[in-house]
């Protein structure tokens, strides 16, 4: 069974520090990786996606992918209280077609003012 694992937290980070969120996945053939942010009672919103090994930066966010270790992470620099949310890691598994995503259970991030 294809799985996506995340530490549920809560992960508490002081304002202005770097928040590091981690995710591992089971299928070595996975091709696409996504990070979504979900505020309580709201639907997920896309933060970043990454397909290739290495780092991808977008503003305060950096996604890191290591396919050999089956590991993907999200770094949030200069953390703000508004970053407090649940962060969902999602993986699109190989197999062709427009498959849906498999989500981790999410990491609850708390940015302390």
Partner 1 sequence: GAVVSQHPSWVICKSGTSVKIECRSLDFQATTMFWYRQFPKQSLMLMATSNEGSKATYEQGVEKDKFLINHASLTLSTLTVTSAHPEDSSFYICSASRTGAYNSPLHFGNGTRLTVT
Determine if 42 is a binding residue for partner 1 (CB under 8 A).
yes
For the sheet with 4-5, list strands across it. 4-5, 19-25, 71-76, 61-66, 54-58
- Regarding 44 and contact with partner 1 (CB under 8 A), the answer is yes
Using CB under 8 A as the binding rule, whether residue 100 contacts partner 1 is answered as: yes
The residue among 17 and 46 lying less far from partner 1, judged by its C-beta, is 46
User: 52 exposed, middle or buried (CB, 10 Å; 0-12, 13-18, 19+)?
Assistant: exposed
Residues lying near partner 1 in the complex (CB under 8 A) are found at 31-32, 34, 36, 41-46, 49, 51, 88, 90, 92, 97-106
């Amino acid at each position: 069974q294809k799985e996506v694992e995340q530490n549920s937290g809560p992960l508490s980070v002081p304002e202005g520090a770097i928040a590091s969120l981690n995710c591992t996945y089971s299928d070595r053939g996975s091709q696409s990786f996504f990070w979504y942010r979900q505020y309580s009672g709201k639907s997920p919103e896309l933060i970043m996606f990454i397909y290739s090994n290495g780092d991808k930066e977008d503003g305060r966010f950096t996604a890191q992918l290591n396919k050999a270790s089956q590991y993907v992470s999200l770094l949030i620099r200069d953390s703000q209280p508004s970053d407090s949310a649940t962060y969902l890691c999602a993986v699109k598994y190989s197999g062709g077609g427009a498959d849906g995503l498999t989500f981790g259970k999410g990491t609850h991030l708390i940015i302390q003012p």
